[in-house]
Amino acid sequence: MSITTTTGVHILVYPYPTSGHIIPLLDLTQRLLSRDLTVTILVTLTTSLLLEPYLSTHPSSLKQLVLPAPSPDIFCPPQKRIVSNVRAIRDLHYPMLLQWFQSQSSPPMAIISDFFLGWTRHLASELGVPRIGFSPSGAFALSVGFSMCRDPHEPDDPEDLNFQVSFPKIPNSPVYPWWQIPPHVRCFRGDPDKEFYMSNILDNAASWGLLFNSFVELERVYFDH
């Protein structure tokens, strides 16, 4: 896994391995490369194909670090696959990344990783580098995610799909029926994975910084929040 980098600021970019998360982070990577940064982007064999156009246009400043993807848990119910996958990625990649960083003569000076990979805050702390969380959507969406983890608001009856979930600490106080809350959040009642999921998401709020796929004129009130 040895990588030779050019001189200058070196950043590790770590997407969550689905297209809806990788493509926005590749757009950000393109902007970093245009500012003469060196970027190592973590991919799996499946997602590495998305890098080909960028590697050809930035052959000296863009590197790829190919790590194996975890084996899917075929017995995991659909609503728990995101949480199961995040845990499996952490368990597999954490020691590999620690070893890779320690083997580099010029390791990355910071980690930019997807918000589903909040656990990388602890990796960055162990390595002594800042970790920046990346949201492929906007500030409002992540505000709702933080609120669901900090102040969970659940119905007494899990079958009450019209239970109104409010977020009074978020500007404009959105309200949603329970059935519109993501399934991987609704399924956590009494589940031991609940604490892992919530701490993983809230690790983003405790990171050195946050980046959003958005702009101020669209979400000014939520950036302020």
Known catalytic residues are 21, 114
Which region, left, alpha or beta, applies to residue 100 given φ > 0 means left and ψ of -120 to 50 means alpha?
alpha
Q: Are strands 110-114 and 10-14 parallel, antiparallel or unpaired?
A: parallel
Q: How far is CA 24 from each of CA 53, 135, 160, rounded to the nearest angstrom?
A: 15, 9, 36
3-state secondary structure of 207: coil
Place of tokens 């009642």: 189
DSSP string spanning 29-79?
A: HHHHHHTT-EEEEEE-TTGGGGGHHHHHH-TTTEEEEE-PPPPP-TTS-GG
Nearest to 42 by CA among 60, 21, 56, 57: 21
Place of tokens 């959040």: 185
- 100, with CB counted inside 10 A (0-12, 13-18, 19+), is buried
Place of tokens 């239970």: 163
Q: How far is CA 165 from each of CA 179, 180, 198, 219, rounded to the nearest angstrom?
A: 10, 9, 17, 22
